[in-house]
Structure 1
Amino acid sequence: MQSQMLRFGPLSNHALHIVIDMQKMFAEPGNFYCDGLQAIVPVIANIARNKIQSTVFTRFLPHQINKPPASPWQAHYHQWLTADFGQLPPEQYDLVEPLDQLSHPDNTINKNTYSVFESQAFQGILDKQRPDTLIFSGVKTNYCVLACVLASVDRDYRTLVVTDAVAGSSDQTQHAVLDTLLPRFIHQIELVTADTLLQSWKSDS
């Protein structure tokens, strides 16, 4: 699934780690539960603590629909997100422990779509930090993580996915993305374990 070395060499101190949607609603039994989330929490926390100045967290929040659905995307929100996702208690949108202790308003981005690149706040972070590499962890591998990764590729960033720090809707979808889909992007996407990532990432300076 990945080699023991980064294909394109060590990372600079201009890389940015993006933790996708590690929220309570995906960690607790219910319509949005992600079975593999708890296993990746300590892995993500270790990366974030080592690179806290280079880590950004995202939260997927409800999008308000005030008119009947006029497109497949609006219909998706109207039927699923408004009825279920939008009715969750507010604390369900919070990040899980201990990631909530590592986040603050300046490094946490709220988004209403799968890809964080649709967020003006995220674009502001990119404009300010000017990273050369984007590193992705979080959930779900087959939805928001995948959308963010492909958007990163389209914007010509060096793009990494930390394979032991992402979790999908099921084992089947997890393996489909990590073992079949992403390896086809041999020039654009690097699959790496957390240990190899930290060994290959230069110290902050």
Structure 2
Amino acid sequence: MGQLLAPPGPHAVHLCIDMQRLFAPYAPWATPWLERALPEAVRLIAHAPPRTVFTRFIPVRNKAEARGVWKAYYEKWECVTRDKADPGLLELMPALTRFVPPATVIDRQTYCAFTNRR
């Protein structure tokens, strides 16, 4: 693991990207990192919840709404569109919900949580 060259300043923000039930072990897009990262995320967030920004990946409503490269993607993964998937899968992991508010949540439908581009 790397080391910081200086401590985070007073305006530092903790970005917590896509820590949702959609990526939990039992979900369609299960990722092995989520369970390993969750305890550390909770520890960091508990230190300063108002300085945390969560992003959530929100799939399109149905595959017909998908554009560009996402069209082929949702042809394969139609099961995670909002018309097909359990809406609860879009929620943050249960261990994180207690931090909102004061933590902020930003929802995105593309791979980038910080732009309006698709």
Question: What TM bracket, shorter-length normalisation?
Answer: 0.7 to 0.9
Contact kept, 8 Å, 1:57 with 1:103, in 2: the verdict is no
Question: How many Å apart are 1:66 and its aligned residue?
Answer: 7.1
Match of 1:84 in 2: 79
Match of 2:53 in 1: 56
Give the Cα–Cα distance (whole angstroms) in 2 for the partners of residues 109 and 69 of structure 1: 20
> Which is strand-richer, 1 or 2?
1
Match of 2:4 in 1: 6
Match of 1:142 in 2: none
Q: Which runs of 4+ in 1 moved over 6 A?
A: none
> Which is helix-richer, 1 or 2?
1
Q: Deviations over 1:53-99 (max 9, x none)?
A: 1101111111245758763233323x134x11112111111111210
Question: How many Å apart are 1:34 and its aligned residue?
Answer: 1.1
1:33 aligns with 2:26: no
Contact kept, 8 Å, 2:17 with 2:54, in 1: the verdict is yes
Match of 1:186 in 2: none
Contact kept, 8 Å, 2:52 with 2:103, in 1: the verdict is no
Q: Deviations over 1:114-135 (max 9, x none)?
A: 111125xxxxxxxxxxxxxxxx
TM-score normalized by the length of structure 1: 0.49
Q: Tell me which amino acid in the other structure corresponds to 1:6.
A: L
Unaligned runs of 5+ in 2: none
1:110 to 101, 107, 115: 107
The secondary structure found in structure 1 opposite 2:110 is coil
Match of 1:71 in 2: 68
Contact kept, 8 Å, 2:64 with 2:71, in 1: the verdict is no
Match of 1:15 in 2: 12
Q: Tell me which amino acid in the other structure corresponds to 1:37.
A: L
Matching of residues 1-205 of structure 1 within 5 Å? 1-2=1-2, 5-7=3-5, 9-64=6-61, 67=64, 71-77=68-74, 79-81=75-77, 83-86=78-81, 87-104=84-101, 107-119=104-116
Give the Cα–Cα distance (whole angstroms) in 2 for the partners of residues 16 and 108 of structure 1: 13
Give the Cα–Cα distance (whole angstroms) in 1 for the partners of residues 101 and 92 of structure 2: 11
Give the Cα–Cα distance (whole angstroms) in 1 for the partners of residues 97 and 103 of structure 2: 13
How many residue pairs get aligned? The number is: 115
Question: How many Å apart are 1:46 and its aligned residue?
Answer: 0.7
Q: Based on CA coordinates, which of the two structures has the bigger radius of gyration?
A: 1
Give the Cα–Cα distance (whole angstroms) in 2 for the partners of residues 68 and 62 of structure 1: 10
Instruction: Indicate the percent of aligned positions where both proteins have the same amino acid.
Output: 28
TM-score normalized by the length of structure 2: 0.80
